[in-house]
Structure 1
């Protein structure tokens, strides 16, 4: 993660680091703990825009205070018929679509990420097995939704 975070700082648009108190308050509020990759990211920067600064960015990793249940963000509904309670927004794709993480699935200590397309949500498309894997692929993507492309990644 260290080299990925250095690249975020050098070439992209990171926010200020989250404090330990902000992380603790977030974890208490949502009822789950950040995994190792997410904790490292948020201690480095509390959200970021990749490639292009807001409002034109395609990849906006949300600051802690904007992460919410995906069913609320996408459907405006916090009931089970609107999607699993364990899905949380993480990356705003700026077109009412999100990359979400599933806190009910923790493989090797990491939460997997999925594409949550608003028209078909709660159906999900796998994107990465961890935030670190997502960040690595996103940084090599040339600002493209790499999981939707059959083209090889740059770098």
Structure 2
């Protein structure tokens, strides 16, 4: 599916948030020190976060708003230092129970890959779960309301 088709599916059958403004995206990029790739920019202009399948508090997939995205090491280990994980991994999707799908912004050129941010294995056992946000959305939306990479 194309990204536009995936975004239309989120609007049709899921729980999107209102879109982010271009100014909010610019503020976010200035705060974090990296740029959204084209797929993420399109998503946030469409919806500044979303819950897939179920609304909160029952959502297994809660795509974070720009204001909620943090360094993974801060979200998972509570400290922003190299001993707590790489500086280029950021939370993108809350999959509940202190686990996340992480964005690896060290990857250039974009799109950025996503990693399994399982808190018990973080940071040593964070494996790639999608090569792009579009791939992540497609696999999540077609896999039903389950964390698709747990069955692989």
Question: What TM-score results when the alignment is normalised by the length of structure 2?
Answer: 0.96
Where does residue 140 of structure 1 map in the other structure?
142
Give the Cα–Cα distance (whole angstroms) in 1 for the partners of residues 23 and 81 of structure 2: 30
**Alignment partner of 1:34: what SS?**
coil
| 1:1-155 equivalence runs, <5 A | 1-107=3-109, 109-123=110-124, 124-150=126-152
1:106 CA displacement: 2.7
In the TM superposition, residue 146 of structure 1 has moved relative to its aligned partner by 1.0
Provide, for residues 26-48 of structure 1, a one-character-per-residue CA deviation record: whole Å limited to 9, x for no partner. 00000000001000000000000
Contact 1:35 1:110 (C-alpha < 8 Å) held by counterparts: yes
The alpha-carbon deviation at position 149 of structure 1 amounts to 1.2
Counterparts of 1:25 and 1:132 in 2: how far apart (Å)? 23
**CA RMSD, aligned part only?**
0.8
CA contact (8 A) 1:106 1:112 kept: no
Structure 1 unaligned residues grouped into runs of 5+: 151-155
Using the TM superposition, give the Cα deviation of residue 147 of structure 1 relative to its aligned residue in structure 2, in angstroms: 1.2
TM-score, normalized by length of structure 1?
Answer: 0.94
